[in-house]
Structure 1
Amino acid sequence: MKMDNIIKLDLSENMFGFPERVIDALSSELEKINLYPDTECKELTECISNYYRVDGRQIYVGNGLDEIIFTIAIAKKYKKVLIPEYSFMGYHFSTKLARTEIENIKLDNYKISLADIDKKIDSTDAIYICNPQNPFGTVLEKQFMIELIEKCEKMNVDLIVDEAYIDFVENDKVCSVIHMVDKYNCLYVLRTFSKAYSLAGLRCGFFVSKEQNMADIFQVRDALPFSVNRFAQKAVCCALEDDQWMHDNVSKCKKNRRIFMDKLSELNISFIESETNFVTLYNENADEICKKLFEKYKIKVKYLAAMGLPKYLRIGIGTEEQMNKVIEVLKEMI
């Protein structure tokens, strides 16, 4: 089956294109493909520093968040970590490879339970969370985050906050904690250019933490040089210069998300209210729905059984045409 014929909504990729100027930037790098990229990502680090208004010495750039999560796990050598149940598998894979013990944080209404963290924080070295949450799309509000950060700071427990989907949030009680890094030694904030910036194929992300936390991280980078290719470095710098394009892009996604959830409600299809670029549905026959969507209608969505959720499926937010097709098919199937 040709990929061109498939509506691909399984990996929460951005379906709204990217700035044309990125193509020009990539073309300019073709003449340099015989040369290694800058392993320290100096120009890109400066671009990120200027855009997010954080000290460049607090920034680590990597080949997407998967590599960054792995780098933190290997560098920090945690003995035990807390990870929310049913969360992004990258946290589990990386910490297991680092031979770290994992204990799950229970969820309450698809959000992490602070009460459960209280019971377990004494015996842990670090906590991984994502805000918004993957795969449910729920969010933790600012006051909750401050309480959790201060608890971790007091207990000398690192808090790794994955904000891959933060740009898609509409709830005004939710905010990024990237600018709290200066205040808290415990805090590591992860961001990606795969979602809001439509650059998933180039693989680039970064995290921000206190400068004092970076030495062992950079030692791992020395063992994995040149991981961020020159095309990714140039494209991200270019994308950061076009701030209005990114906001327009995200606005399209938010609009289609709201329309999609409204139509799901009209059809009495069970779903979780989302603040991301995907919506997760609940159905007793989730497995069969995913198979039929792909085999009969060429619509590829994410079946969540591998995350311990055999009755859930996740659907990325695509273009208006794509989402209308999904609704049309779901109306027929469910």
Structure 2
Amino acid sequence: MMINVHGGDIYKHKDVIDFSANINPLGLPRGVKIALMDSIDLAVHYPDVRCEELCKSLAKYYGIKKNYILCSNGAADIIFAITAALKPKKALILAPGFAEYEQALHAIDAKIFCYRLKEEQGFILKEDFLNAVTKEIDMVFLCNPNNPTGEVIPKELMMRIIETCKKNKTILVIDECFISFLENGAEVSVIKEVERYDNLIVINAFTKLYAMPGIRLGFAAIGNIKMIELINKVRQPWSVSVLAQKAGVAALEQKEYVAKTKELIRDERSYLMHELLECGFQIYGSKANYIFFKGQKGLFDLCIKEGILIRDCSNYRGLEEGFYRVAIKGHEENKKLIEVLKRCQNGRNKE
């Protein structure tokens, strides 16, 4: 089992430029800041346990029924609730992949099977994954785009996976937390498919796109009402604060902010990938708001000495030392990252 270590640990690593957490470089939208300030006095009340206003906004935004939505204290909250409620005995995950799936499955003593994404295949999910989804598998976790690789599962293959899971009576949980950073994210997403497939759960969060990880807000779309009832039975009440609910409603109105985000990420991804390749690094996937690459061992520590925090991916299942992930930030910060990486490559870093 991988060690529970994540990016964004600015509390341990102080006074650094943080490239380890994949957060929108535009920062918290102004409209969300205003909503938070305007609703601060509402904090004297208990939150709406049903998140009615937020669920209504999410339903309109994604074009699904309001009663199919469960709001949560971040994506991790709903992941743990899903496993605790549905209690899969055998589950299938990708390696490398997001740590919380495995952690949540271990918490209920599920037997975990891993489909290993191969470096020689660019860490791309292949069609033989369908063979791994056998009738004995109770639950499958997928992340699209995948974390940490940033590789996208094509819609056609994803639909075949959904069909295979349905045929085998397997619950399929798809994490789409980074999908909004794709140019064609709406086309790749399968969130609307929950209305057709009662074995499908789609997870998303406000964390990355709206730069609000400290607020903690996520949700799941589930077309199976009985499944929703089971999940609600294991959840604590009032898990989504008043402020988080108001922030979420305001965030969904930030269309210009999202458009600017996609433009910035597209331009800066191109810049970073070009520069990283020039430095001699091997890049894989990287279609979201982060770059996944292979470089020299010890690069994490060298960057820390230079005031740069990158994500060392060696603790991901299926990866070894030398794999890293960096968030796409603003141009000046990205230039600083490249300068530091060049110095590290040339052995001229600070002692």
Q: Do 1:105 and 1:117's aligned partners in 2 also have CA atoms closer than 8 Å?
A: no
* 210-219 vs 114-123, greater mean Cα deviation: 114-123
**What are the Cα deviations for residues 36-59 of structure 1, in whole angstroms up to 9, with x where unaligned?**
111211111111111111101110
- 1:277·1:316 contact (CA, 8 Å) conserved in 2? yes
- The Cα of 1:22 is off from its aligned counterpart by 1.5
Unpaired runs of at least 5, structure 2: 1-9, 346-351
**1:330: which partner in 2?**
341
Q: Secondary structure at the match of 1:161?
A: strand
**For residue 60 of structure 2, what is the aligned residue in structure 1?**
50
After superposition, what is the alpha-carbon deviation per residue over 1:209-238, rounded to whole angstroms, capped at 9, x for unaligned?
1133311012123xx111111111101101
Shift of 1:191: 0.9
Match of 1:304 among 295, 300, 313: 313
1:183-218 C-alpha deviation (Å, 9 max, x unpaired): 112211111111112121111111111133311012
Aligned partner (choices 234, 238, 244) of residue 220 of structure 1: 234
Counterpart among 19, 22, 32 of residue 9 in structure 1? 19
Report the secondary structure of 1:306's partner residue.
Answer: coil
In structure 2, relative to structure 1, the CA distance for the partners of 1:279 and 1:128 (3 Å cut) is: same
Work out whether residues 141 and 174 of structure 1, in 8 Å CA contact, stay in contact via their aligned partners in 2: no
Q: CA deviation at 1:120?
A: 4.8
**Displacement of 1:170:** 3.3
Which residue of structure 1 aligns with residue 276 of structure 2? 264
Aligned partner of residue 13 in structure 1, secondary structure: coil
1:202 alignment partner AA: I
Q: 1:246 to 1:40 in 2, by over 3 A?
A: same
1:314 and 2:314 are equivalent in the alignment? no
Structure 1 position 117, deviation (Å): 4.0
Unaligned runs of 5+ in 1: none
Residue identity opposite 2:308 in structure 1: I
Residue 146 of structure 2 aligns to a residue whose secondary structure is coil
Alignment equivalent of 2:171, drawn from 155, 158, 162: 158
How many residues are matched? 329
Q: How does 1:111-122 map to 2 (within 5 A)?
A: 111-122=124-135
Q: CA deviation at 1:4?
A: 7.4
TM-score (norm 2): 0.89
Correspondence for 1:143: 156
The Cα offsets for residues 251-283 of structure 1, whole Å up to 9 and x where unpaired, read as 212211111001112222212131111111112
Give the deviation of 1:67 after TM superposition.
0.5
Q: 1:162, CA displacement in angstroms?
A: 0.4
- Report if aligned partners of 2:176, 2:189 keep a CA contact under 8 Å in 1: yes
Residue type of the partner of 2:148? P
8 Å Cα contact 1:105-1:113 kept in structure 2: no
Task: Pick one of 86, 93, 104 that aligns with 1:94.
Answer: 104
1:326 maps to amino acid: L
Q: Partner residue of 1:124?
A: 137
Residue 189 (str. 1) matches residue 181 (str. 2): no
Match of 2:252 in 1: 240
- Is this contact kept in 2: 1:284–1:311, CA < 8 A? yes
Residue 300 of structure 2, aligned match among 290, 293, 298: 290
Q: Is the 8 A contact 1:85 1:104 kept in 2?
A: yes
| Residue 4 (structure 2) aligns with | none
Residue identity opposite 1:53 in structure 2: G
Q: Percent identity?
A: 30
Q: How far does residue 20 in structure 1 lie from its aligned partner after superposition?
A: 1.4
* Shift in Å, 1:5: 3.3
Match of 2:287 in 1: 275
- Would the aligned equivalents of 2:82 and 2:231 in 1 still touch at CA under 8 Å? yes
Distance in 1 between residues matched to 2:289 and 2:279, nearest whole Å: 21
Select which of 222, 242, 258 maps to 1:230. Answer: 242
Asked if structure 1 preserves the Cα contact closer than 8 Å seen for 2:191 and 2:202, the reply is yes
Of the three residues 241, 250, 253, the one matched with 2:265 is 253
What is the deviation of 1:315? 0.7
Answer yes or no: is 1:67 the counterpart of 2:81: no
Give RMSD over aligned pairs.
Answer: 1.8
Is the CA contact (8 Å cut-off) linking 2:182 and 2:262 kept in structure 1?
no
Is the 2:133–2:164 Cα contact (8 Å) retained in structure 1? Answer: no
**Counterparts of 2:132 and 2:34, CA distance in 1:** 53
Q: 1:172 to 1:18 in 2, by over 3 A?
A: closer
CA distance 1:172–1:135, shift in 2 (3 Å): closer
Structure 1 or 2: larger helix share? Answer: 1
How far has the Cα of 1:123 moved from its partner?
Answer: 1.5
Aligned to 1:180: 193
